[in-house]
Structure 1
Amino acid sequence: MHGTTTGMFVKGLALAAGIALSAVPGKPVWADNLTDAFIGAYNTSGLLEQNRALLRAADEDVAIALSALRPIINWTVRVSRNYTRTNTSSVLTTREPSTFFSGLTLSQLIYDGGASILGKQSAQETVLATRQSLIDIEQQVLIRAANAYLGVLLQEETVAIRQNNVEVSAEELRASQDRFEVGEVTRTDVALSEAQLASSQADLAVARGNLSIAQAEYVNAVGKAPGRTAGQPKLPNLPRLENDAVNLAQRNHPAILSAQHQVRALDLVVQQQRANLGPNVSLNADAGVTESYDNDDYTNDATVSLNFNQPIYSGGGLAAAVRRAMATRDASRANLLNVQKNITQGVADRYAAFQAATASLRASTERVRASQVAFDGIREEATLGARTTLDVLNAQQDLLDAQLAEVASRTERSRAAYELLQAQGLLTAERMGLAVQIYDPTLYYNLVKKAPAKVSKQSRDLDRVLKALRRD
């Protein structure tokens, strides 16, 4: 009986994962690995869809800024009634003629000190900043998928260990009862074994509950229920030195690149607001037909004018706009410094966490080995009467704790590795070579950057793109 208990404890761990999974009703039979989780998250994330739409909105801001440099043509219809009173030679005459005007009006900016061009350039920098923000969001989506997968894996391994511990505790209880019947142990030993079994069953119930919670998070993060997990993922390639990781992050992290583009965009806004203090010149023209309701007379006329405007006094609004733009730019510069510091600290933290998790795993593996040897020895000594049931139960608990610590350390090492990858700005679908259709942010931008008219072929191409994106 005792040898069976020890052998079952060792062999059960190898089969426990399959036992735990097969015990879950409706469990899919396919195997999921971390790459599957990444692909599912990338393809189904509503957060990515939201921020891609925000990027398209920023693309349209470039088209809107460009439109300020183009002529504006309107078809105008105007109905008017004029009231005129004339006093000539003591004769008071009142006329109320009504007219109808239909024609075209045109307005073309000629010169505004470069304000409109600066506005377009600022919008382009904002697009570049938003693209980097989208990459940062992508990293957040993928790291959540990684944590969800590792969470499911950890809880499955925990359930397996707890399930095996229940079976070992049950065998130990039967052994105690057999020994009690022949007078080798007391009723107290049997009660200790009963308490151990009850505690193991309670811990197993908690572990199964935690597994259900982890599976729910996986569904939310990845977009589907997890299949049979394929085990711990292969660790990504990581820098050997912390300084290398920091330098890589400073060059590549999308949060830093986004903040840099934001600073440049706001520098251009400051220049734009200063240009608004200067003169602007515009060409205005209209041509149409004016008809009178009083008779059948009509007039064909056209007007062309060149308008020059120089702000003299605007209540202080223009100067305030310049100062506001400067303050906003200064805030963005300070934000860039903060982002750079936060990224540096984040890399250092994640690097230290990975090193600590690696060391913890080595120690935990050695702890499991030593605890297994101790448990086997104490168990055999108990059969000879040299150890008590309490000694066996304590050794069993020590081995259980060591096994749980080992799977937790292994999971934490994988989590720390991918968090370090994220901290460097490298956790993206493109860099990891995921088998997905990589979202191309330039496709939509290239279609709208020249502000195509509604009747143009390019506009029809845009309509097809929006329909494909289910946003029409």
Structure 2
Amino acid sequence: MLRRRNSILSRALAAVVVVVSMSPVALSAETLTEALALAYANNPTLNAARAGTRATDEDVPQALAGYRPTVSAFATGTFDSNFGDHSRIARTGLTLTQPIFRGFRTENSVNAAEASVRASRESLRNTEQNVLLDGVEAYMNLIRDRAIVDLRKANLAFLNEQVRAANDRFSVGEGTRTDVAQANAALAAASSSLALAEANVMTDEGAYKQVFGRAPSKLTPGKPIDGMLPKSFERAVTLSRKDHPAILSAVHSADVAAYNVKIVEGELLPSVSLEANIDRTWAGGNTSTDTGNNASIVGQITIPLYEGGAVHSGVRQAKETLGQARIQVDVTRDQVQAALISAWGALEAAKAQTVAARSQIEASQLALDGVLEEQRVGQRTTLDVLNAQTDLVNAQVTQVQAARDVIVAGYTVLATIGRLSSTELKLKIATYRPEVHYKQVRDKWGGLRTPDGR
């Protein structure tokens, strides 16, 4: 009877990983792509980045305002009394100022604002990648640790049986007190490991809720995305340099810095403007001022001669900032390439570890079954069984970890080449398009409400 129990428990433990990863999932279970669609729509970090991009869009109409006139109204009134003589004068009017030439500062300000918008969009795309990758990690971590909890529970059941068997053998004089103590020690360690595994699941559930905005339910195991990845590392490097949003954002930020140099240099050039005034004057009492209307147009040319060196310093400062931005482009390229190398290596290692863990489980299972048979005829001790069981459980945990690593590393590679997006993943959710808001506000001449009515 004891032999039958040990055999059944060992086979049940060996099958846990297969059950966790291969068994049919209830229709209500959530898939990885469904979870990522939820994060894409609701994640606060991503929504904050979208709001930041919309705010950056407003830099363009602000820069375009440099081409447009400004209009102001004024009103004045005076009352003068001098030894019985009184005079009253009131005046109202409008002033319109139209810039004609500002040393190319308006044109370069528009170009800088548009480059800033492009940089902001790429930064948003990078944030989207990071949020989706965080979602993949949170999802797969939870699946992994739930599977480990199942393994620990099965291991605990196996060791409970070993404790009972050790006590039975000791009571009939076939075992020793040492066997009982070793079995109890292994059981206590297994209980501790299970408690730790359950704590890890609680941590994972908190991270899941933070990324996806709701508590997890049943989860469908993720699948590798090898079909979406480049066939070679060299191709991956080429794609990352071409498409990674962090690199493109740095490039556009360097463009902004280049235009800022021209904007500051424009302060050293002449500026031309027209000013038109129309006003109405009312006069009463003892005054030489007549009641009437007045209109004037004044052209003004301003030529800066010396401004105390502030503008020259500003030009030098802007050039240094430009140099820093260009260096940052190279730094970002190196960082992306380093991340790609790490992710590619992790993916290859995880694939190899998956194959090795599968072989290790098969060998460990055979070894455990053999040790159990040999223990039955007195050729093995309780410690031998416990060691064989530990080897099997460790191999199964390794397989669960490797299965998680293959999927996470695959998505990480996809992110490092700039392809981790809702469109590439074909998420069933409306894609956020920042250019829609940009077109809504770019040519606005006024209005306090945002396009969504706030």
TM more than 0.5: yes
Q: Paired residue for 2:248?
A: 257
Q: Paired residue for 1:140?
A: 130
Letter in 2 for 1:67: A
Q: Paired residue for 1:391?
A: 384
Asked if 1 retains the 8 angstrom alpha-carbon contact of 2:170 and 2:180, the reply is yes
1:431 to 417, 424, 429: 424
Letter in 1 for 2:232: L
Q: 1:16 Cα shift? A: 8.5
Q: Paired residue for 1:350?
A: 343
Q: Paired residue for 2:282?
A: 291
Q: 1:295 Cα shift? A: 6.8
With over 3 angstroms needed to count, the CA separation of the structure-2 counterparts of 1:345 and 1:15, relative to structure 1, is closer
What percentage of aligned pairs have identical amino acids? Answer: 32
With over 3 angstroms needed to count, the CA separation of the structure-2 counterparts of 1:392 and 1:292, relative to structure 1, is same
Asked if 2 retains the 8 angstrom alpha-carbon contact of 1:17 and 1:157, the reply is no
Note the residue ranges of structure 1 that are not aligned, 5 or more in a row: 20-27, 85-92
Letter in 1 for 2:236: A
CA distance in 2, matches of 1:246, 1:430: 21
Q: Paired residue for 2:107?
A: 117
With over 3 angstroms needed to count, the CA separation of the structure-2 counterparts of 1:336 and 1:400, relative to structure 1, is same
Q: Paired residue for 1:282?
A: 273
Deviations 1:444-468 (A, max 9, x none): 11011113333xxxx8xx64x323x
- SS at structure 1 position matched to 2:90: strand
Q: 1:153 Cα shift? A: 0.8
Asked if 2 retains the 8 angstrom alpha-carbon contact of 1:365 and 1:406, the reply is yes
Q: 1:232 Cα shift? A: 3.3
Q: Paired residue for 1:35?
A: 33
Asked if 2 retains the 8 angstrom alpha-carbon contact of 1:67 and 1:451, the reply is no
Match status 1:331 vs 2:324: yes
Match status 1:318 vs 2:314: no
Q: Paired residue for 1:418?
A: 411
Q: Paired residue for 1:271?
A: 262
CA distance in 2, matches of 1:82, 1:116: 45
With over 3 angstroms needed to count, the CA separation of the structure-2 counterparts of 1:169 and 1:95, relative to structure 1, is farther
With over 3 angstroms needed to count, the CA separation of the structure-2 counterparts of 1:294 and 1:168, relative to structure 1, is farther
With over 3 angstroms needed to count, the CA separation of the structure-2 counterparts of 1:67 and 1:94, relative to structure 1, is farther
Q: Paired residue for 1:3?
A: 4
With over 3 angstroms needed to count, the CA separation of the structure-2 counterparts of 1:293 and 1:131, relative to structure 1, is farther
Match status 1:74 vs 2:83: no
Matches within 5 A, 1:167-316: 167-236=157-226, 237-292=228-283, 294=285, 298-316=291-309
Letter in 1 for 2:282: E
CA distance in 2, matches of 1:97, 1:270: 54
- SS at structure 1 position matched to 2:67: coil
CA distance in 1, matches of 2:239, 2:84: 83
Asked if 1 retains the 8 angstrom alpha-carbon contact of 2:85 and 2:286, the reply is no
Asked if 2 retains the 8 angstrom alpha-carbon contact of 1:256 and 1:340, the reply is yes
| Bigger Cα displacement from structure 2, 219-228 vs 36-45 | 36-45
Q: Paired residue for 2:400?
A: 407
Letter in 2 for 1:43: A
- SS at structure 2 position matched to 1:373: helix
CA distance in 1, matches of 2:54, 2:39: 21
CA distance in 2, matches of 1:62, 1:230: 45
Asked if 1 retains the 8 angstrom alpha-carbon contact of 2:347 and 2:406, the reply is yes
- SS at structure 2 position matched to 1:101: strand
- SS at structure 1 position matched to 2:58: helix
- SS at structure 1 position matched to 2:215: coil
Note the residue ranges of structure 2 that are not aligned, 5 or more in a row: 21-25
Q: 1:263 Cα shift? A: 1.3
Asked if 1 retains the 8 angstrom alpha-carbon contact of 2:159 and 2:187, the reply is yes
- SS at structure 2 position matched to 1:100: strand
Q: Paired residue for 2:23?
A: none
Residues paired across the two proteins, number: 445
CA distance in 2, matches of 1:241, 1:56: 38
Letter in 2 for 1:3: R
Deviations 1:148-200 (A, max 9, x none): 00110111011000000000011111222222232221222122212222221
CA distance in 1, matches of 2:393, 2:301: 86
